[in-house]
Every structure is written in structure tokens, then in C-alpha cells.
Chains A and B, each alone.
Chain A
Amino acid sequence: MENTPKVITRREFIAQFCRGAGLLVAGTTIGSLVGRTDASGMVWQLDPDKCTQCGNCATACVLNPSAVKVVHEHSRCGYCELCFGYYLDQRPDNQEAAENVRCPTDAIKRLYVEEPYYQYTIDEAKCIGCGLCVKGCQAFGNGSLILQARHDRCLNCNQCSIAVQCPAQAWRRVPASEPYLLRSPRKAQEGAEPTDMTPATGGAQA
């Protein structure tokens, strides 16, 4: 018995052959994936140049409240006393009363800087990403308020459910190393001298 070579049935042979082929395919896939692998991968982001502030970002996200928040690019902001993002367009006698504020959740903080400038900052904990302020700012202001997926909240679903419902096809996958699509270069915000501060124009990272 010891001398007889191990008999391989036809079925085993085919199985071995297929297993080898499977390993080969797996190896090839690994090989070709290595070239395509970006260690950090891709994340979803909203292109502010395509965004129409339809409001879907607030409702379509799997998170409630949405992972999309308003981001304020201060270097583009005009620091207007009567901000179109902050106040409703039509309000009697330019009143600054609270009922004339656009934001439904009081997520924008208005802070007096000096005459006639006011600073507007976003309280992300309150922001629901409805984009009402963005709509006002895009329509009448400098467009310094934009909607962005905040990656500390975003689950990075494989198929973003907001992207599916976006009427403007503004959502796309971007490299995780550059996860935001801000309009102005970030270095412009890092406390440059206010006198030589020129707001970035057309700095869209298209």
C-alpha cells in the first residue's frame, strides 16, 4: 500500500486546477489593484460651483441631522452689516430683529467687528445643512457660504444617498487626502494681513 502513488480522481484534479486558476485570478487582481490602490481612498464631496441649494442635503443624508453643513470661507466674505445669508431678503425697514433671520435653527452667529463690519460664524452643532443661508449668500452676496460634507460626521457610504438625489449632479468622489472642495485656497485664510488681503477669485478647484 505504501508504494502505490496517491490516486487523484478526475474531480479532485479539476478542483485543484480551478483552485489554481482562482489563486491566479486573485493574484492578478491583487497585482492590478496595488497599482490602483490609494491608501486613503476616496470620499464624497459636494462641488459648491454646481450646488443649487435645493435642500436635499438636509433630508437625503442617512444621518439625521445631515453630515452636510454650511462652511464659511471668511476670506471671501464681505462682512456685510446686512448679510443676505443671515437676514431674509424682504424684511420691513431693514430690521435686525430675530424674526428676520433666515436660519431656521439659529446656527449663524453674528458678531460685531467694527463699523460697518460684522463677522458671521457657523455653529455646526446647530446647522442642519438646509442651505437657506447659502442660497441667500450665493444669490446676492459674495458666495462665501457653501455647503460641504463634514468628514468628521460623514459615514462615507459606498453610494452616497444624497448624491443619488442631487438634482445638480454636484456630488462626486474626491481623494481622501483633499476631502474638501473649497472655493478659495486655504492658505489665504491663514490670517494674512488685512490690507493686502485679496479675496481669491475663481479659485474653484474644478
Chain B
Amino acid sequence: MIALLLVLGLLWPALGIAAENFPPPEFSWNYQFPQTPVPGPRPPLLAWIDMAVLAAMLVMAAWAVYRTRSRSHLFVLAAFGVAYFGFWRKGCVCAVGSIQNVALSFTDPTYGVSLAVAVFFLLPLLGALFYGRIFCAAACPLGALQDVVLLRPLRVPKWLDSSLSLLPWIYLGGAVLFAVMGSDFIICRYDPFILFYRLGGTPLMLAIGTAVVLLAVFVGRPYCRYACPYGALLGLCGRVSWRRVKLTYGECINCHLCANACPFGAISPPTAEPGSVSRREGRRRLGLLIALFPLLLAAGGFLGRFSSPLLAKVDPTVRLADLVFLQEKGLVQEPTLATEAFARQGRPAQELYQQAAAIHRKYELGGTLMGVWLGLIFGARMIRLSIRRHRAEYDIDQAACVTCGRCFDVCPVERQRRGTLTSE
């Protein structure tokens, strides 16, 4: 009897779950069904408060960077950012992850970006267009966490720093690709800090998170510099920002203290006298790179197209189709939870294969574009590296500077101007 019931139980989902095995009760009195409680999501007012807090923090950060020029003010803001956006709001949704929501909304018509997400995406970028990466210094809970654990900053060699700083752009391309495909939000999935705010996570993320935080003790903001896709966008905006962070409003005495103080390698020393490098040689190299640029794009596109089946494996439907196929062919005997769930749904495997094939076709285009994007990144970086720029004094790289304010406090000219220089 029980076996029969079990068989029936397994069959029912295939027959449509609406099976009602027992008739509705016939009460002899006016019995009222208990209400099924359906508590709603966060009230919109709280989202408005989040947006207001973000806007206020950006304004205060701009004030601290350009008016009071105070590292301690920025530190207080960052601590508040960690407390509010990190521990109170559990780090979601953050500006970094919002890239994916915005990207998905452009391809999935059923997906609506909430106003808060749109504001979290745009406000820091607008802030960077006007004042540089003030968001990174003050309001980003991921950045602030790395900043406070930075105790023994080591200098990352220029060549390594320059190569690794391409990673955020690659990560950005991948995150947008998988988001527009509706496959995954990889930035959120592999966010190394969120488990500290939520006080919980998978063992893998615990390992990654601990490793990144330990690294951040010695390397200044490793995630921001070598992973954060939003930081890449902010850097792009910061490069052309209206106000530029200045080391000092006085006259630079080329003392190198600021460059020593910057743990992020964002301060470049003056260049050698112009003319030390052959101008003609430089021009020839630049011309060659520009000529090679389209070739690089094409090669990237070809490689991307070639590797699209691999990229498509990120999609859960494709992975399921692969599993079901292997099982159907008898190559894998053990059913997994996923294949069992699929079998219970009673859909024909062909339908699943067709879905997976459609996703594969989308990834062919997506992979090509991703490859072109990689070519673009490498090409642009090589062209930029081959352009030499003359600097007469210490200067801040506005794309790399997270406006933490460490350099303000060590610059002797600045300290004299502010009257905090004491004879030692």
C-alpha cells in the first residue's frame, strides 16, 4: 500500500501538481480558514533612506576631500559606511553589484531595476565625474573594510600593478556578459567581504574572504585595485573628473613623502627630463600599436567565439542539459538532485536540449563580444603605456586614486599651509 502510494507520489508531479487527493472539509459550522500571512518586502521608505544616506555621504566625502582635506574626516565617513551599508544593510544592494542589475534590465524585459539600484549605480559614477573616486574612500563598504586592515603596506612593483590592474576590466566584461545572459551575478556570488557583514557564507567564500582580508593587511585595497569592476568604471570617470584631487594647493617641493605614503601606487614621481627618450622611436611604436589595434580586436573576437561553449557552462540550464545528456547516454549512472528534479518535472529532454542550444547560440555572440572587449582592453592599455607624459612634479593618477587622504597629512607644504607642521 505504502509502495503504491510512493509510486503515485512520484507520478503526481508529472501529471500536474494540482492533484487534490482529499476533498475539501465540510464543516458543520461557519469555520473560517486561517489567513495565510504574506508579509511584504522592505517598505520603500527604507530604500529612500538608503539613497539619501548615499547621497549625503558622497557630499560629505567631497567636502572632506576638497574643503577640509582631512583623512580623519574621511575615516569617520568610511567607518560609518561600513556600519550602515555593511553591517546594517548587509552589503546588499551595493554599487558594485548594481552593474549586473542594470545590465540585465537591458536584455530581460521582465526584469525591473528598482529605483534604489539605479541610484546606487549612477550616483557614485556621477560623483566620480565631478570629484573623482570619492565613493571608494567614504561610502563603499568593501573598500573601507580593506582600508582599515591595511597595517603594513608593501609597494607593488609597477609592472605587476600595471598588469594586474587590467583584471577589473576583464571582470567587468565577464560580469556584464553573465548578467545580460541571465545566467549568474558573479560579482555578488564571489563577493569576498559580504560574508563578514552577514556573518555567514559558504566555506569556499570564507576561504576567499579571509585570504583577501589577509592580503589587504600588506597590499593596499587588493580587491579595489585588482578586481573591482565598479572601481574600473569609477576610475574612468575619475580620469576626466571636473575637480581633481590635489596633493597640495601650495608649491610641490618634490620631497617624495606623498608617494611613500600612498599605499595604492597612485602617486607618480616627476618624469625624467624630456628628450631622454627618442620622440621618433616613441611615435613609431605608437603608430604600430594603433595599426595593430583592429587585428587585436579581431583576434579577441575569434578567441571569444571559440571559447563560447566554455562560457555557456556558467548557465545553469546548459549545465543541467549536459548532465541529463550524459545520463541519457549512460555515461553517468548516478542521478543528481538536479537530474532528479528535471525528471520529476516530466518535461521531454529534447525541450531542454533545445533551450540549451538556444543559450549556446546567444553565448556565441556574447563570447565574441567578450573577446573583442578583451582585445580592446589590452590594446588600449598598450597604447596608453606607450604615450609618455611629462610631469614636472609629483602628481596623482586620478584613475587609481581612491581619495583616501593619506597624502594630505604627510605633505609638508600642505601641513605648513594648514599650520599643523611642527618642528621635530
B93: contacting residue among A22, A50, A64, A158, CB under 8 A = A158
B21: contacting residue among A37, A38, A78, A158, CB under 8 A = A78
Contact with B along A51-94 (1 / 0, CB 8 A): 01010100000111000000111111111100000000110000
- Please determine whether A78 and B22 come into contact, CB atoms closer than 8 angstroms: yes
B-chain residues with CB within 8 Å of residue A74 when the two chains form the complex = 33-34, 36
Q: Which residues from 8 to 35 on chain B have a C-beta closer than 8 Å to any C-beta of chain A? A: 9-10, 12-13, 16-35
- Please determine whether A117 and B25 come into contact, CB atoms closer than 8 angstroms: yes
B200: contacting residue among A54, A63, A89, A152, CB under 8 A = A63
Contact with A along B374-408 (1 / 0, CB 8 A): 00000000000000000000000000000000000
Contact with A along B234-274 (1 / 0, CB 8 A): 00110111100000000000000000000000000000000
Q: Does B114 make an interface contact (CB < 8 A)?
A: yes
Question: How far in angstroms is the closest Cβ of chain B from A95?
Answer: 16
A-chain residues with CB within 8 Å of residue B185 when the two chains form the complex = 158-159
**Interfacial residues, chain A to chain B (CB-CB below 8 A):** 14-16, 18-19, 22-23, 26, 29-30, 32-33, 36-43, 48-50, 52, 54, 56, 62-64, 71-80, 89-90, 113-114, 117, 119, 121, 138-143, 150-152, 154-159, 161, 164, 167-170, 173, 175-176, 179-180, 182-183, 186, 189-195, 197-199, 201-204
Q: Does B294 make an interface contact (CB < 8 A)?
A: no
- Please determine whether B129 and A52 come into contact, CB atoms closer than 8 angstroms: no
A150: contacting residue among B39, B240, B316, B338, CB under 8 A = B39
Q: Provided the pairs A63-B200, A167-B340, A169-B316 are in contact, do residues A158 and B102 lie with their beta carbons within 8 angstroms? A: no
- Please determine whether B114 and A158 come into contact, CB atoms closer than 8 angstroms: no
B-chain residues with CB within 8 Å of residue A22 when the two chains form the complex = 129, 236-237, 240
Q: Which 9 pairs of residues, A with B, have the shortest CB-CB distance?
A: A41-B114, A38-B112, A78-B22, A139-B9, A168-B341, A167-B337, A152-B39, A159-B188, A159-B185
- Please determine whether A194 and B27 come into contact, CB atoms closer than 8 angstroms: yes
Closest to A52 in B: B341
Closest to B244 in A: A15
- Please determine whether B39 and A158 come into contact, CB atoms closer than 8 angstroms: no
**Interfacial residues, chain B to chain A (CB-CB below 8 A):** 2, 5-6, 9-10, 12-13, 16-36, 38-42, 44, 90, 92-94, 97-98, 100-102, 105-106, 111-118, 122, 125-126, 129, 184-185, 188-189, 195, 198, 200-202, 236-237, 239-242, 316-317, 320, 336-338, 340-342, 344-345
A contacts with B: majority SS: loop
| A80, B22: Cα distance in complex, Å | 8
Closest to A74 in B: B33
Task: Offer 29 A-B interface pairs, CB within 8 angstroms, sorted by A.
Answer: A15-B239, A22-B237, A23-B129, A37-B114, A37-B115, A38-B114, A39-B114, A41-B114, A41-B115, A49-B17, A56-B337, A62-B198, A63-B200, A74-B36, A78-B24, A139-B12, A151-B42, A152-B40, A156-B41, A158-B92, A159-B185, A161-B201, A161-B202, A167-B337, A169-B317, A169-B320, A182-B38, A183-B18, A201-B20
Question: How far in angstroms is the closest Cβ of chain A from B190?
Answer: 9
- Please determine whether A199 and B2 come into contact, CB atoms closer than 8 angstroms: no
- Please determine whether B122 and A29 come into contact, CB atoms closer than 8 angstroms: yes
| A64, B200: Cα distance in complex, Å | 8
- Please determine whether A52 and B240 come into contact, CB atoms closer than 8 angstroms: no
B-chain residues with CB within 8 Å of residue A63 when the two chains form the complex = 198, 200
A41: contacting residue among B9, B12, B112, B122, CB under 8 A = B112
B-chain residues with CB within 8 Å of residue A29 when the two chains form the complex = 102, 122
A-chain residues with CB within 8 Å of residue B19 when the two chains form the complex = 142-143
- Please determine whether B31 and A37 come into contact, CB atoms closer than 8 angstroms: no
A-chain residues with CB within 8 Å of residue B116 when the two chains form the complex = 41
A-chain residues with CB within 8 Å of residue B17 when the two chains form the complex = 48-49, 138, 143, 183, 204
- 12 additional A-B pairs beyond A139-B9, A152-B39, A167-B336, beta carbons within 8 Å, are A36-B105, A41-B113, A42-B114, A43-B41, A62-B198, A64-B200, A89-B5, A138-B9, A156-B92, A158-B93, A164-B189, A168-B341
- Please determine whether B39 and A151 come into contact, CB atoms closer than 8 angstroms: yes
| A43, B41: Cα distance in complex, Å | 8
- Please determine whether A157 and B92 come into contact, CB atoms closer than 8 angstroms: yes
| A113, B30: Cα distance in complex, Å | 11
| A62, B33: Cα distance in complex, Å | 33
| A150, B239: Cα distance in complex, Å | 44
A-chain residues with CB within 8 Å of residue B32 when the two chains form the complex = 191
- Please determine whether A202 and B36 come into contact, CB atoms closer than 8 angstroms: no
B-chain residues with CB within 8 Å of residue A183 when the two chains form the complex = 17-18
B-chain residues with CB within 8 Å of residue A195 when the two chains form the complex = 26
- Please determine whether A76 and B340 come into contact, CB atoms closer than 8 angstroms: no
- Please determine whether B36 and A73 come into contact, CB atoms closer than 8 angstroms: yes
A54: contacting residue among B36, B113, B189, B337, CB under 8 A = B337
A155: contacting residue among B92, B111, B320, CB under 8 A = B92
- Please determine whether A50 and B102 come into contact, CB atoms closer than 8 angstroms: no
